[in-house]
Amino acid sequence: MNRSSDSRMEAACSLLAKSKRRYVLYQLVDDRAAHIEDLVTQVAAWDAGEPVDRIDDETRQRTYVSLVHNHLPRLADYDIIDYDLRSGDIVLADGFEDIQPLLEQFRQTEEDPELRARPTL
């Protein structure tokens, strides 16, 4: 393995080390696209270990800020997603295919049984 592939692997592991980034990708896998509001609600629910209907506005807002100011830009920087905050649209980008096998390994080890039970990526 050369240094270039080492750094790519380190970047992929670093990206997927944060649960909110994994949750974003798990949600996007089914349709390859989502709206920010739907994504925020589902990510907040998985992060809190609560059903979607029990997520309050404050939790939703904290998750929104975290996604918009941290997680979505990082994923976009590596061409994993494309997003437009004006429209609220988020889609998987071509670079997702590079990390898909690693994301599947992460999914199989998630604590939440709902996440582990999701269809194979």
The pLDDT profile of the chain, 121 residues, written as one tens digit per residue, is 444 556 878 889 999 999 999 999 999 998 889 999 999 999 999 999 999 999 999 999 999 999 999 999 999 999 999 999 999 999 999 999 999 999 999 999 998 888 888 878 7
What angle separates helix 19-31 from helix 36-48, to the nearest 10 degrees? 130
Helix (H, G, I), strand (E, B) or coil at 2: coil
**Highest CATH level, class, for 2-117:** mainly alpha
Bridge pairing between strands 81-84 and 33-35: unpaired
